[in-house]
Amino acid sequence: MATTTAPSTVLRDARRVVVKVGSSLVTNEGRGLDEAAIGEWCRQMALLVRSGVEIIMVSSGAIAEGMKRLGWTTRPSAIHELQAAAAVGQMGLAQMYETKLRESGLGSAQVLLTHADLADRERYLNARSTLLTLLKLGVVPVINENDTVVNDEIKFGDNDTLGALVANLVEADALVILTDQKGLFTADPRKDANAQFVHQAQAGDATLEVMAGGAGSSLGRGGMITKILAAKRAAGSGASTVIAWGREPDALIRLSRGEAIGTLLVAPTQKTQARKQWMADHLQMRGAVVVDAGAAAKVRDEGKSLLPIGMVQVEGDFSRGDVIAVRDPSGQEIARGLANYSSAEARLLCRKPSSEFESLLGYAAEPEMLHRDNLVLMR
C-alpha cells in the first residue's frame, strides 16, 4: 500500500469536484450551524470557481440543526421525528449556504435527492441535467438527502454514499470528503499507539476496509468505513477521493494546488476510460440505430457525435439514457453509447435536422442522438 506524501496532480488537474462535509463539522458538534466554518468553505469554493473549477457541495447537517432548533439532545429513532427534524433544519442549512456563498459572490441552489431519484433512469438523467445546467450558470448546487420524505427503503444510508453517487452522476474528477478526522489510519489512533497515517492508497483496496472499522459520531450516520466505501464507489466512474480534516486551513485551495493533505485514494482508471469501458462491457443492449455511410465515417473515422440526420433505421425498444449500438449500412456494429432520445423519439428524428426537433417532439433537447463524450468505438 502506497503511503507517499508527495504532491499529487489528481486534484490539481480536477475541473469538476464534489465536496462533502459531515454533520459534526457543519453543526460544530451539534452546537448549531458553524457560521465561520461554512463561510470559510464557501470562500474557498468561490476562489476555485473563479479559477475555472466546477464545485458541487454535498452537505450533511439538516437533522443535527433541526435537533438543536427543537431543543433535542438525543438523535431520535422514530422516522417521523427524524423527518420533522430534517424539515426544520433544512431551512437554516439552506439559508446559511445561500448567505455565505452570496458573500463570496456566488449563487447557490438547494437540491434534495433520494435513492429513488437516482435509481429511476429518467429521474437520474433529469437530476444530472439540472446539476450540469447549474454548473454552467456558475451556481453552486448544495445537495442533501431529502430526509423529510425518505424511509429505510429509499435512504442512501449516509451522505458519504450520496457524495460518491453525485460524483458518478456528474462525472466528477474528484470527491473531497471533509470530516473531523485527519484522514485514514492503519488502526484507530485513539486505541492503538502504533497506528500509522495512510497518505495515499488505491481506492477499492480491500485492506482499507479492514483498517476503517468504527462507527461515526452520535450526530451523523457515517464513519471512516463509509468514506472508504464511498471512495470505492466514486472510483467506478474514475473519480479519486480525498479524506481530509475539514478545519485544515485552506484545505480545498491547497488540494487544488497539488498539496498532499489528508488521505488520497486514487481511482485505478481515468474518468473517460471508466465510463467508456462500462459502455463497451454491456453484453445486452436494448436497441440500435443504423446509420448511412457518411454518418458512419464521421463517427468511426473522425470521432464525431452521431446526429439524427444520419440515421436511417431504429431497432428495438429503448429509453433515453440506455446504451445502444450504432451499426453501419452493412449491419456491423461500429460504436455504442448513451441514447439522448428514446426509440420512439428516434424513429421520428431519422433523417431530420435539429431545426425540426421541436416541431416533431414538442420540445428541443440535445442536437445529437449520441454525444461523442458518451460514445465508444467498437474495434
Q: Which domains does the chain have, with CATH numbers?
A: 9-270 (3.40.1160.10), 282-377 (2.30.130.10)
Higher pLDDT, 227 or 122: 227
Cα→Cα distances 76→72, 86, 88, 156, 316, Å? 8, 11, 14, 18, 50
Q: Taking 60 as the threshold, does the pLDDT of residue 93 lie above it?
A: yes
Q: Which of 179, 227, 170 is nearest to 54 (CA)?
A: 170
How far is the C-alpha of 94 from the C-alpha of 110, rounded, in Å? 7
Mean pLDDT of the residues in the chain: 88
pLDDT digits (tens, 9 = 90+) for 287-314: 999 999 999 999 999 999 999 999 999 9
* Band of residue 223 on the pLDDT scale cut at 50, 70, 90: confident
Q: Taking 70 as the threshold, does the pLDDT of residue 222 lie above it?
A: no
**The pLDDT value given to residue 1:** 56
Contact 203, 232 (CB under 8 A): yes
* Band of residue 191 on the pLDDT scale cut at 50, 70, 90: confident
Cell representation of residue 269: 482508471
* Band of residue 151 on the pLDDT scale cut at 50, 70, 90: low
pLDDT digits (tens, 9 = 90+) for 40-59: 999 999 999 999 999 999 99
Q: Which of 218, 226, 214, 212 is nearest to 158 (CA)?
A: 226
**The pLDDT value given to residue 12:** 83
**The pLDDT value given to residue 155:** 60
Q: Taking 50 as the threshold, does the pLDDT of residue 244 lie above it?
A: yes
Asked whether the whole model's pTM tops 0.75, one would answer yes
**The pLDDT value given to residue 221:** 44
How far is the C-alpha of 65 from the C-alpha of 71, rounded, in Å? 10
* Band of residue 75 on the pLDDT scale cut at 50, 70, 90: confident
Query: Which residues are CB-contacts of 181 (< 8 A; sequence separation ≥ 6)?
Result: 224, 243, 245
pLDDT digits (tens, 9 = 90+) for 166-181: 998 898 999 999 998 8
State what percent of residues in the chain have pLDDT above 90.
60
